[in-house]
């Protein structure tokens, strides 16, 4: 087995080359260690970047790790880039996304019932943006599709995993929907962007 410093070096290269989140299990297999040890090494790397005040940080997302920019440097990055027009998720998209996040796996009918309006177009848009995905089919009549959130959803809202969502009772879901609706692209900072010129998700 390779020494720890050599593995750290390899993991840094993986993060740099892939850009997208690197799965800890796949990284562990590549260097010949257990997944738990790989996660520990990624977290050591993350702490080292933070402790030295680096402009690059490592974010953990649902068992995967990714290079991101330091949020305090966002204004400097924007000063020398010309990103496309910023767009944000619509209120309707945020409402549906909140319902899916808290009730998953959930059917379109259940989403419609909570919102009080049809959500076909919104769901199609969220799926196209890879914020939600199909999770099989319900056993209910007609076997409707079940939906759940994706890894991209976690990255967009800067969440490590779904456990970071506030714990809510059913009657509090409406307030959760409202709080999601308060989120705008203007609130998003650099850690949610891998590249400085990356555009926000399009308005659904």
- What was the pLDDT predicted at 18? 84
User: What are the domain boundaries of the chain?
Assistant: 4-69, 91-192
The predicted pLDDT at position 86 comes to 47
Asked if pLDDT for residue 194 goes beyond 50, the answer is no
SS3 assignment for the chain: CCCHHHHHHHHHHHHHHHCCCEEHHHHHHHHCCCHHHHHHHHHHHHHHHHHCCCCEEEEEECCEEEEEECHHHHHHHHHCCCCCCCCCCCHHHHHHHHHHHHHCCEEHHHHHHHHCCCCHHHHHHHHHCCCEEEEEECCCCCCCEEEEECHHHHHHCCCCCHHHCCCCCHHHHHHHHHHHHCCCHHHCCHHHCCCCCCCCCCCC
Q: How confident is the model at residue 87 (pLDDT cuts 50, 70, 90)?
A: low
CATH fold for the domain made of 4-69: Arc Repressor Mutant, subunit A (1.10.10)
The answer to whether 4-69 and 91-192 have equal CATH topology is yes
CATH of 91-192, one of 3.30.460.80, 2.30.300.10, 3.30.1330.10, 1.10.10.10: 1.10.10.10
pLDDT at 203: 38
Backbone angles phi, psi at 68, to 5 degrees: -140, 165
Tell me the percentage of the chain whose pLDDT exceeds 70.
Answer: 77
Q: What is the pLDDT at residue 11?
A: 94
| Least reliable range by pLDDT among 28-42, 47-61, 145-159, 172-186 | 172-186
What pLDDT does residue 174 have?
61
């Amino acid at each position: 087995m390779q020494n720890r410093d050599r593995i750290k070096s390899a993991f840094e290269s993986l993060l740099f080359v892939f850009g997208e989140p690197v799965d800890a299990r796949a990284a562990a297999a590549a260097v010949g260690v257990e997944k738990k040890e790989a996660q520990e090494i990624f977290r050591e790397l993350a702490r080292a970047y933070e402790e030295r005040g680096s402009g690059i940080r490592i974010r953990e997302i649902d068992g995967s790790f990714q290079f991101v920019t330091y949020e305090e440097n966002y204004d400097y990055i924007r000063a020398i880039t010309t990103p496309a027009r910023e767009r944000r998720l619509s209120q309707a998209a945020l409402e549906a996304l909140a319902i899916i996040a808290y009730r998953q796996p959930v059917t379109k009918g259940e989403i419609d019932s909570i919102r009080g309006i049809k959500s076909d177009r919104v769901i199609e848009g969220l799926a196209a943006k890879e914020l939600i995905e199909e999770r099989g089919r319900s056993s209910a009549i007609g076997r409707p599709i079940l939906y759940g959130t994706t890894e991209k959803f976690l990255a967009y809202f800067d969440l490590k995993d779904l456990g970071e969502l506030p714990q809510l009772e059913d009657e509090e879901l409406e307030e959760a929907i409202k709080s999601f609706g308060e989120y705008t692209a203007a609130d998003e900072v650099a850690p949610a962007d891998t590249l400085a010129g990356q555009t926000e998700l399009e308005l659904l």
